[in-house]
Amino acid sequence: MNAYEAYMKEISQPMRDELTGAGFTELVTPDEVDEYISSVKGTSLVVINSVCGCAAGLARPAAIKSLENEKRPDHLATVFAGQDREATARMRDYLEGYEPSSPSMAILKDGQVLHFIPREHIEDHEVEEIVENLTNAYEKL
C-alpha cells in the first residue's frame, strides 16, 4: 500500500465505522459481494458509501435514521466507492440498469433491485426527504 492509499484508508475509516456501527455489513472484495448477494434471503439496504460531503451530511445519516422505522429491510450492507473499487464495481454489476452513482442506495430483495436512490436524489435534498424516500420504499416491501 502506498502512502496515498494508507492516508485514504485512515481518513475513510470513520466514514466506514458510521455505517458498520449502525449494523451494516461492509463488503470489501468482489467475493464478499458475490457471497452476500447469493446467500442473503429477503430484503437488503445497500449503501454505496463515499468520502464526499453529500455522503457525510446526507446519505449516511439518512440511511441510519431510516432504520428507526418499524418496517425496514432484513439485511444491511455497504461498499465504499473510491476505496474498495473492485467490490464496488461488483456490487454495481448487481444494480443492472442503474448508472454508477456514489453515494447511492439500493433496496434489493433476493438480489433483485426494488428501489434505487442515485446521487442526484441525495445531493441538494434534506436528510428528512431521503429518509422519507427510503421509508416509503420499506412500506412496499
Lookup: cell for 110: 433476493
User: Residue ranges of the alpha helices (H) in the chain?
Assistant: 3-20, 30-39, 53-54, 60-66, 85-94, 127-139
Does a structural domain hold residue 10? no
Which CATH number do you get for residue 46? 3.40.30.10
From the list 27, 33, 45, 54, the catalytic residue is 54
Catalytic, 57? Answer: no
pLDDT in tens, 88-102: 999 999 999 999 999
Query: Residues 34-87: pLDDT tens digits?
Result: 999 999 999 999 999 999 889 999 999 999 999 999 999 999 999 999 999 999
Clarify whether 52 is annotated catalytic: yes
Asked whether residue 103 is assigned to any structural domain, the reply reads yes
Q: In total, how many domains does the chain have?
A: 1
In which domain, by residue range, is 28 found? 24-139
